[in-house]
Structure 1
Amino acid sequence: MKPTLQLRLGQSLTLTPQLRQAIRLLQLSSMELELEINQALESNPLLERPEDSDYEAEAERNDDSQNEPEPVEHSESEEFEASETQYEDLAPDWELSPGGSGSGSGEDGERPELGSPETETLHDHLLWQLNLTPMNERDRQIAVTLIDAIDDDGYLRAELAELIEAISPAFKANEAEIETVRHRLQHFDPIGVASRTLAECLQVQLNALPTDTDGRALALRLAHEALETLAKLGPERLAESWKVESQAMSVAVDLLRSLDPRPGAQVAPTSVEYVVPDAFAFRHQGRWEVRLGPGSTPRLGINRHYQGLIASASRQDANYMRGQLQEAKWLIRSLETRADTLLKVAGCIVRHQAGFLDRGPEAMRPLVLREVAEEVGLHESTVSRVTTRKYLHTPRGTFEFKHFFSSGVPTSDGGAASSTAIQAMIRRLVDAEDPRSPLSDAKLTTELKAMGVTVARRTVAKYREAMNIPASNERQRIG
């Protein structure tokens, strides 16, 4: 049988080096982009930043123009009139601000450090104390294992069997030995670490107080027997039940409140992550507009001196320099494309979410990537890259672009409310609730329905959990 020859027509997409570079630059954060540019400057002699004097002059002009930003859509002939105070929150101090917040520069006008400085962890702090504590090697090995198992709040969550197994390569420890060492650790600083429960943690702290401390004895009884009952009944009803004077119960409850339920957090506070805004939203002549931040529009140029040497260079050197020149032009063009795309997407987001900028989270409207992609003429995947790790500074704080996207939930008037707006409504209802009788998920659902937002109870529960709001029985407060 003779072989047959078949011809097939098909289409395939081949990514050119230039397109790959443009896509890669698009998904970089401002910090990563700066590193990428620095590496390119070091490796490519045909690429340069403007002369230092020109760069400093331009920087001064940029600083001066922070109070008069260029709008997204603004004709060259139109006169830009704005008072300086309108844009004072776009001053250079805002170039670095904590993610998701509107805080500005550090003390004395200094800009905060990028990243987080190295700080002592809870484990480091406990190990340091362990090294200063007289203890035999067997107990010391147990203590190290326990410290490794303590979480950031200061609690020991690991089961006894897990601890025994962790120690077993060195020797076989028993429960009595482990508990003895654990009780010693509980009196390290911060006192109460290595406790297994809240009640135990509070008791350790109470036992460390002088015996004549007002309310100590009753507070110990409360911590040991009735923390949940106290939360449900409140001090007055529990005082009646225990036949204790209300004043004595009040003193004991105040003493409990003065204790630290999360002792580990004293040593290992949550670090603040700093971000560089890629764009700034501001109001101009009654409408919200956008300008890019300095980090999103890096200034690069071609080194004219090296470019002029190409004609007189040897063939090998000339080929190398032509290749470097082409790469430099590709990078500059890719950076311009990146900046243009950022500006389009940021402008589109601001136009859609003007209600949020004017009135806050409850006015956030539903917005999906597809809407923005269709409006700015880009592919959804491109918009996804642009909105990842890119930040928009607004008068309400600095937010990742993705913060402004959320699905819609039907409302009673036939419209839709964004999940972000619904979460803001839930937060407001919870903040305003009676702490003695907090709102259940069912009651929150009813309240939202009265506000014109119809959602299922399980949806309310999902949003509440996403915001780290405890259930109603856990939110019930003492007193």
Structure 2
Amino acid sequence: MKQTLQLRVGQQLAMTPQLQQAIRLLQLSSLELHNEIQQALESNLMLETDEGEETSVADKSNQDQNAEEQPSGEAIPDELPLDTSWEDIYDASYACASPGADSATDILENRSSNPQGLIEHLLWQVEMEDLTESERLVAEIIVDSIDEDGYLQSSVEEIHGQLPTSIHFSPSDVESILARIQRLDPHGIAARSPAEALFIQLEQLPETTPWRGEAMEIVLNHLERVAEQRYDEIQAELGLSGSAVDETLELIRSLDPRPGQQLSNSAPEYIIPDVTVFRQDGAWHVELNREMTPTLRINPYYASLVKRGDTSADNHCLRTHLQEARWLLKSLQSRNETLLKVASAIVDRQREFMDHGEEAMQPLVLREIAETIDMHESTISRITTNKYMYTPRGTYEFKYFFSSHVSTTDGGEASATAIRARIKRLISAEETSKPLSDSAIAESLRDEGIKVARRTVAKYRESLGIASSSQRKVKQRGYGNKTQAAELRK
């Protein structure tokens, strides 16, 4: 993976609760977003649905209305920096514990789950990594050893012992690949202890994060003292004030000690497309699914009740509701714009798929879309999770359109998805009495200009749920015997 050194000059926008909300909304599925909007309508009197003319969910005129009434220091920026937030702070989806949570049990509290499968999510990212075939095999073994909480259940030595004799890796090589897995999403994955899970997340924060170094020290050496509320000892050991210890613990509480639970398969979810793809005038177009995101606006009557200079409790409450409503509208607008931008870039790269189907799928990695729309890869990874696209060929998760590449004989590239489709086609057309072996399929693919090893064919075939040639032959023989017996009984 290419590493770059960037010099950032300028002011950094503080990570306010409002901006955290904007980032969190970006991750929600359509159904989750719909529920979020309904809750906001019920709890905030400043919000109402716009049943009339079609307007943007965050109509600019509504943003500017009564602008002078916004509390000082809470001005809403024209653009929310949703992209840089992934790199500049801890994951905003991690819910902060209450200020009074002091024990290790509170800090290591389980967090909200997500219907996306953890192993599937990790294997998809492994496929996107720039790894050799041997490194990829080690990575897959590591992923298979991760439990539902996100912890590695096998030691490096045990994983090393599972490697085929053809792979000449040392335990330190396995450790290096494990370190790459630990940088995948969700942050803190593949740790061997809660302390390591928290430490990995802290490592991924920018060095300028307040109290990052102190939090690392506490996570590595003082969690037991935190559990026993021996804060005076931590103060003395680290030379910190009481308020500094509080700030450091607050940072630790914002982390997720069970990162795997973010991607639990415990609850099924209905699939509702976020965008629709359609062909018009010879070109492919993308539009948002507005049915699940009702158009919202500020209630003009209640907004007019907010009085400038009035310090009463009632007026303060109205001002707070108004500001929260404006932030929600702006957050929804930013979410919609970002989703549309990503979806449009994907469709533009996969026009051949839209026209001709799976065998025409182009190889595509996160970095390409990130560079196209000028965002970070980690941002694209989160945006494409649990977001769906309705196309004339079916409804697909955004992630479906990304796959690794395989070289072709003419020096080009073919996507793994296209190769799977070709394997499926070859097997469906085989003579049932003479099923194609993986070697024969690899040879047929080479005839089509695709260089792929027999072992890779086997992996793709298994991912399609297709049995081996010997198993298919036995199954066909059994079917034939049943047919003959039925004929004899007639």
TM-score normalised by L of structure 2: 0.50
In structure 1, the partner of 2:340 is 343
Q: Distance in 2 between matches of 1:457 and 1:410?
A: 15
Query: Does structure 2 retain, via aligned residues, the 8 Å contact 1:297–1:339?
Result: no
Check conservation: 1:430, 1:438, Cα contact below 8 A.
yes
**3-state secondary structure, aligned to 2:279:** strand
After TM superposition, the runs of 4+ consecutive aligned structure 1 residues lying more than 4 A away are 11-14
Could you give the per-residue CA deviations for residues 93-141 of structure 1, whole angstroms, max 9, x where no partner exists?
Answer: xxxxxxxxxxxxxxxxxxxxxxxxxxxxxxxxxxxxxxxxxxxxxxxxx
1:226-265 pair list within 5 angstroms = none
Structure 1 residue identity aligned to 2:290: P
Q: Give, in whole Å, the separation in 2 of the partners of 1:347 and 1:451.
A: 31
3-state DSSP class of the match of 1:389?
Answer: coil
Instruction: State the distance in 1 between where 2:448 and 2:277 align.
Output: 30
- One-letter identity of the residue aligned with 1:471: S
Q: Secondary structure, in 3 states, of the residue corresponding to 1:474?
A: helix
* Cα contact 2:439–2:454 (8 A) shared by 1: yes
Counterparts in 2 of 1:298 and 1:323: CA distance versus 1, 3 Å? same
SS in 2 for 1:464: helix
- The amino acid of 1:303's aligned partner reads N
CA contact (8 A) 1:30 1:295 kept: no
Quote the residue 2:389 is aligned against: 392
- Separation of aligned partners in 2, 1:278 and 1:372: 18
Structure 1 equivalent of residue 456 of structure 2: 459
After the TM superposition, which residues 99-138 of structure 1 pair with which residues of structure 2 at under 5 Å, given as runs? none
TM-score where L is the length of structure 1: 0.51
Partner of 1:403: 400
How many Å separate the matches in 1 of 2:433 and 2:451? 27
Partner of 1:307: 303
Task: Give yes or no for contact 2:31–2:270 (8 Å, CA) kept in 1.
Answer: no
Map residues 198-237 of structure 1 onto 2, 5 A cutoff: none
Distance 2:332 2:54 in 1: 18
Report the CA distance shift for 1:475/1:376 in structure 2 as closer, same or farther (over 3 A).
Answer: same
Q: Distance in 2 between matches of 1:452 and 1:48?
A: 58
Q: Secondary structure at the match of 1:275?
A: coil
State the shift of 1:298 in Å.
3.1
Task: Measure the CA separation in 2 of the matches of 1:454 and 1:442.
Answer: 12
**SS of aligned partner of 1:328:** helix
Greater Rg by CA: 1
1:319 is the counterpart of 2:316: yes
The answer as to whether partners of 1:310 and 1:318 remain within 8 angstroms in 2 is yes
Deviation at 1:14, TM superposition (A): 4.7
1:330 maps to 2:327:
yes
Q: How does 1:25-104 map to 2 (within 5 A)?
A: 25-51=25-51, 54=52
Q: CA deviation at 1:394?
A: 0.8
User: What's the secondary structure of 2:433's corresponding residue?
Assistant: coil
> Any gaps of 5 or more consecutive residues in structure 2?
1-10, 56-267, 481-490
Per-residue deviation at 1:378?
1.7
* Residues 386, 397 of structure 2: 8 Å contact kept: yes
Give the Cα–Cα distance (whole angstroms) in 2 for the partners of residues 12 and 28 of structure 1: 25
Structure 1 residue 277 and structure 2 residue 273: aligned? yes
Aligned-residue offset at 1:58: 5.4
Distance 1:289 1:298 in 2: 22
1:442 aligned counterpart, secondary structure = helix
Following superposition, the deviation at residue 371 of structure 1 comes to 0.7
Give the alignment partner of residue 416 of structure 2, picking from 415, 419, 433: 419
Tell me, in whole angstroms, the C-alpha distance in 2 between the residues paired with 1:368 and 1:41.
38
For residues 342 and 297 of structure 1, what CA distance do their matches in structure 2 show? Answer: 13
Q: 1:368 aligns with which of 357, 365, 381?
A: 365
Offset, 1:448: 0.6
Give the whole-Å Cα distance in 2 for the aligned partners of 1:340 and 1:12: 22
Q: Give the length in aligned residue pairs.
A: 255
- What is the rounded CA distance, in whole Å, between the counterparts of 1:18 and 1:370 in structure 2? 28
**Residue 275 (structure 1) shift:** 1.7
* Alpha carbons of structure 1 residues 420 and 449: separation in structure 2 relative to 1, 3 Å: same
1:428 Cα offset (Å): 0.2
CA distance in 2, matches of 1:310, 1:331: 18
Q: CA deviation at 1:273?
A: 6.8
Unmatched tracts of structure 1, length 5 or more: 1-10, 60-271
> Who is 1:436 aligned against?
433
CA distance in 2, matches of 1:455, 1:35: 46
Give the CA deviation at 1:297: 4.5
C-alpha change, 1:423 and 1:276, in structure 2 (3 Å) is same
Classify 1:379/1:465 alpha carbon distance in 2 versus 1 (closer, same or farther; 3 Å): same
For residues 175-220 of structure 1, what are the alpha-carbon distances to aligned partners after superposition, in whole Å with 9 as ceiling and x for unaligned? xxxxxxxxxxxxxxxxxxxxxxxxxxxxxxxxxxxxxxxxxxxxxx
2:352 paired with 1:355: yes
